Amino acid sequence: FARDPAPSIMQMALGALLCCYGQAQQHIHHKILAALRKDASSRGQYSIPTGRWFNTVSCPHYLAEILIYVAFAIMLNEDMPPCGTFVQPNSQLAMSSVFGLRRYKHLILCIWVATNLTVSAHKSHGWYKRHFGSKYPKHRKAIIPLIF
């Protein structure tokens, strides 16, 4: 098997910055959630999270997690050669690349995580709306601001 082409410096830099940003946002929003439980009087009760991305979506920590996986997909993505450069008669590389989806593994993982977290965010958003009723902000979406 031939070696995979390495990601470019630009891919690595963009991916690393996005990964750090996603991790920082995830940490910030987990701290907001944890702070809701610190007050002893709120034990056993639920509160509506507010602040930062919570002002527009119900599950900003899930959105931040998706950003982290997008960053990994960017950093680990390999340059895709044109079809003719690796499809050769009797080529094991061609068979493993085409049928094994080897070059798409990071994208497939990213799509899986995004789908899983989007479904979870949709269910959490529904729970918030049922539990808090008219008190829950009507403009707030599940995971993607202004969209879903």
pLDDT number for residue 86: 46
Residues 8-28: what's their mean pLDDT? 97
pLDDT of residue 17: 98
User: Is the pLDDT confidence value at 88 over 80?
Assistant: no
Exposure on the CB side of residue 90, measured as CA atoms within 13 A: 0
* Greatest mean pLDDT range, 5-9, 72-76, 132-136: 132-136
Q: What is the mean pLDDT of residues 37-50?
A: 79
Q: How far apart are CA 22 and CA 16, in angstroms?
A: 10
pLDDT higher than 90, residue 104: no
pLDDT level of residue 82 (50, 70, 90 thresholds): very low
Give the mean model confidence (pLDDT) for residues 121-131: 98
73: exposed, middle or buried (Cβ count in 10 Å: 0-12, 13-18, 19+):
buried
pTM for the model: 0.81
| Dihedral over Cα of 141, 48, 130, 122: its sign | positive
Q: Which two tokens stand for residue 80?
A: 């895709």
For 22, phi and psi rounded to 5 degrees? -60, -40
Q: Which of 21, 27, 109 is nearest to 69 (CA)?
A: 109
Residue of 45 and 26 predicted with greater confidence: 26
Read off the amino acid at residue 72.
Answer: F
